[in-house]
Amino acid sequence: MKYIDGFRNHLAAKSITEDIHRLAGELSEQNKDARIMEVCGSHTMSIARYGIRQILPENVRLISGPGCPVCVTDAAYIDAAIELAERGIHVVTFGDMLKVPGSSRTLADARGAGGKVHVCYSPLDAVKLAKESPNEEFVFLGIGFETTVPPVISIIKKAKAEKLTNISVLTAFKLVPPALEALASDTDVAVNGFLLPAHVSAIIGADAYENFVEKYKIPSVIAGFEPLDILLGIKGLLEQLTGNRAELVNQYARVVRKQGNRIALNLIHDLLEPADASWRGIGTIPQSGLVLRKEFSNFDASKKFNISTQGGAPDKRCRCGDVLRGIIFPDECPLFDRECTPLFPVGPCMVSSEGSCAAYYKYSR
């Protein structure tokens, strides 16, 4: 903890904040407002927790992107998981998935009605359950970005090595770089700087963003989650904007390497391949997902149980999609802190601890 304390030093924060205010005053007339999107849900929570928005100049706006894996999980995927549980198949998942709304119900509702839903702390718990009950079928809900993909799919290698045939994965993995391209191409979003995710970048490496920055000419900084990390990231973006530059800067070099984590990337490549993916509230983004390769189809729950993860119908009143695209702030949704609260969420952005609406509800309302 003594090392983390160094990234929470209030005197250093004050100095960096003064630099941010100075740079904000130097923004040109053509580009005098800085709309910076933090892509990662952990950034969103840290920004709210430490009150970073409140100390920034008025013309520097932080907007949240689709960096919360629970938030972008499509309603149809939840519907499929509920159907599996109701068909007598054991569904194993992390706790933050229980309250995510499907088209009309949640996994918590299904469990309350007798559905076989198990909450775990590790993907390996699913393997343990499958070994203990060899005559029962178990499905692990595999969601998340590049950070969580390797530990989830590692259970497939373990199951194969131990010749387990009663375990599979229902995949809804997402990739960050294609999502960045979709955001950069969306004229409604109008972002002119990206605060890139820390954990994802540790897996895929800084080089993974080079083509994106070169193509779209949007300043981008990889930053950690501590207050000084975030402030330095904002400062770095403003330096680029005032200098009329668009570069990729790895401000989190103490963790993120250019080539990323080769062991994790090789595991992903061996078991998975890119595919189009549906993002809740955003739509289908080409080649933004990962699905199991054909040679591992016997571990693919959607094929094994002939179940679809397409065609969900979430509550149309929920504006999570606009929140995830940075078009509105959470408190601009008419349901926020009225019908939609952490105890009774209407949309997934209020469910996860990394969700924008949950962060606003806890720290900013």
What percent of the chain has pLDDT above 90? 85
339 shares a domain with 316: no
User: Which range has highest mean pLDDT (70-74, 136-140, 311-315, 352-356)?
Assistant: 136-140
141 shares a domain with 220: yes
Torsion sign (Cα): 225, 227, 230, 236: negative
Residue 30 domain boundaries: 1-328
138-144 and 117-119 as β-strands: parallel, antiparallel, unpaired? unpaired
pLDDT band of 30, cuts 50, 70, 90:
low
Which pair of structure tokens corresponds to residue 257? Answer: 């390497």
The CA distance from 140 to 167, in Å, is 8
Yes or no: say if 279 and 285 are a contact pair by the CB < 8 Å rule: yes
338 shares a domain with 236: no
pLDDT band of 205, cuts 50, 70, 90:
very high
The confidence score (pLDDT) of residue 229 equals 96
The b/e string for 8-22 (b: 16+ C-beta within 10 A; e otherwise) is eeeeebeebbeebee
350 shares a domain with 222: no
Instruction: Return mean pLDDT, the chain.
Output: 93
In what helix (H) or strand (E) does residue 302 lie, and over which residues does it extend? Answer: helix 301-304
- pLDDT surpasses 90 at 274: yes
349 shares a domain with 217: no
198 shares a domain with 76: yes
A 10 A CB-CB count for 207 gives 14
The CA distance from 14 to 132, in Å, is 56
Yes or no: say if 279 and 179 are a contact pair by the CB < 8 Å rule: yes
In what helix (H) or strand (E) does residue 77 lie, and over which residues does it extend? Answer: helix 75-86
60-64 and 220-222 as β-strands: parallel, antiparallel, unpaired? unpaired
349 shares a domain with 273: no
335 shares a domain with 323: no
335 shares a domain with 255: no
The CA distance from 307 to 301, in Å, is 8
Candidate from 74-83, 122-131, 309-318 with smallest mean pLDDT: 309-318
- pLDDT surpasses 80 at 217: yes
Which pair of structure tokens corresponds to residue 236? Answer: 């770095």
125 shares a domain with 78: yes
The confidence score (pLDDT) of residue 313 equals 83
Residues composing the chain: 365
191 shares a domain with 89: yes
The CA distance from 227 to 261, in Å, is 25
Across 238-281, the runs of DSSP E, i.e. the strands, are 248-250, 272-279
The confidence score (pLDDT) of residue 34 equals 93
The confidence score (pLDDT) of residue 2 equals 57
Q: Which of 148, 144, 149, 81 lies closest to 115, judged by CA?
A: 81
Number of structural domains the chain divides into: 2
Which pair of structure tokens corresponds to residue 11? Answer: 């005197």
The b/e string for 161-200 (b: 16+ C-beta within 10 A; e otherwise) is eeebebbbbbbbbbbbbbbbbbbbeeeebebbbbbbbbbb
274 shares a domain with 347: no
CATH of the domain at 13: 3.40.50.11740
Amino acid (1-letter code) at residue 352:
S
pLDDT digits (tens, 9 = 90+) for 227-265: 999 999 999 999 999 999 999 999 999 999 999 999 999
pLDDT band of 352, cuts 50, 70, 90:
confident
